[in-house]
């Protein structure tokens, strides 16, 4: 029985990883046609990648979008988490449900809703500064990812030792000072973790972006475009890079999560 369990378990593990491995290996595949057998031995696709103007623009756009998403989601999410943790008010349950909707519902529903909203109020998809993605997609990302921040920070707040704040105020520090110097450092890793999560999720976001994007493309949409025109091995290269970045991010995130109130954060 034990052996059966182990073989199934390992099988599943392989099932989870093999496809990723395939993509990584094929990014070094020495042929334009992506077929079996695998011919390892070239970096050319990475070269093609770095000369692909469209892709590089998409990378820039994605990064800017992700950064803005982090700012918005933290700016709205942290107060939201505090609100849920410390206050009671009529409609609190509705607020809670609403905040969680983008996480729970398929992204397409949130995307479509936001599209109707922005169209309704007459905000064009490519409005905003030319250097950054349009307002709708920026606001859309930020809003959709507020939920992530709220859940992460809320969970941390629930475990917070309230007495530290009380001690601070007992010792004559006012509300703001206490918040900045006592509360905030204690939830620092949760904030960093949430920011990291939002950044990564924004980079990979497809559903909401699909409906709200203006003239620029993000990385996933750019890849999507390439895929629809037929596979080019360049896609393997960018996918491998994304994989690497994701692994690094999750390792950092895991470190943060297991190092409560970081000696090093």
Q: Which of residues 47-106 bind other proteins (CB under 8 A)?
A: 75-77, 79-80, 82-83, 86-89, 95, 98-106
Q: Which two tokens stand for residue 204?
A: 């990979």
Considering the complex, what minimum distance in angstroms separates the CB of residue 41 from other proteins?
A: 17
Q: Is 120 in the site for other proteins (CB under 8 A)?
A: yes
Comparing CB distances to other proteins, the nearer of 64 and 107 is 107
Residue 46 contacts residue 237 (beta carbons within 8 Å): yes
> What is the Cα gyration radius of the chain?
22
SS3 124: coil
Measure the CA angle with vertex 35, ends 31 and 40; round to 5°: 50
Comparing CB distances to other proteins, the nearer of 60 and 201 is 201
Quick note: the x/- pattern for other proteins over 219-238, rule CB under 8 A, is -x--xx--x---x---x---
Residue 231 contacts residue 247 (beta carbons within 8 Å): no
Rounded Cα distance, 224 and 179, in Å: 44
Comparing CB distances to other proteins, the nearer of 17 and 130 is 17
Quick note: the x/- pattern for other proteins over 129-168, rule CB under 8 A, is ----------xx--x--xxx--xx-xx--x----------
Identified binder of other proteins from the candidate list 67, 242, 260, 265, rule CB under 8 A:
242
Considering the complex, what minimum distance in angstroms separates the CB of residue 105 from other proteins?
A: 6
Q: 4 — phi, psi (to 5°)? A: -60, -45
Rounded Cα distance, 256 and 166, in Å: 26
């Amino acid at each position: 029985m034990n052996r059966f369990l182990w073989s199934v378990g390992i099988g599943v593990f392989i099932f989870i990883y093999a496809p990723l491995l395939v993509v990584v290996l094929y990014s070094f595949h020495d042929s334009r046609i992506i077929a079996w057998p695998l011919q390892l031995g070239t970096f050319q696709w990475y070269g093609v990648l770095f000369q692909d103007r469209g892709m590089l623009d998409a990378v820039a756009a994605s990064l800017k979008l992700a950064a803005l998403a982090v700012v918005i989601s933290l700016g709205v999410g942290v107060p939201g988490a505090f609100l849920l943790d410390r206050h009671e008010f009529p409609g609190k349950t509705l607020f809670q449900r609403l905040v969680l909707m983008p996480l729970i519902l398929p992204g397409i529903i949130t995307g479509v809703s936001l599209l109707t909203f922005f169209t309704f109020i007459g905000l064009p998809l490519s409005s905003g500064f030319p250097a950054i993605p349009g307002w709708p997609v920026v606001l859309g990302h930020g809003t959709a990812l507020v939920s992530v921040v709220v859940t992460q920070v809320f969970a941390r707040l629930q475990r917070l030792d309230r007495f530290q704040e009380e001690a601070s105020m007992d010792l004559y520090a006012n509300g703001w000072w206490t918040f900045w110097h006592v509360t905030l450092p204690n939830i620092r890793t949760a904030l960093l973790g949430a920011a990291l999560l939002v950044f990564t999720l924004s980079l990979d976001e497809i559903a909401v972006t699909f409906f709200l994007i203006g003239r620029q493309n993000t990385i996933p949409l750019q890849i999507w475009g390439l895929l629809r025109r037929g596979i080019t091995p360049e896609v393997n290269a960018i996918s491998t890079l994304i994989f690497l970045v994701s692994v690094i991010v999750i390792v950092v995130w895991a470190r943060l999560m297991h190092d409560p109130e970081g000696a090093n954060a």
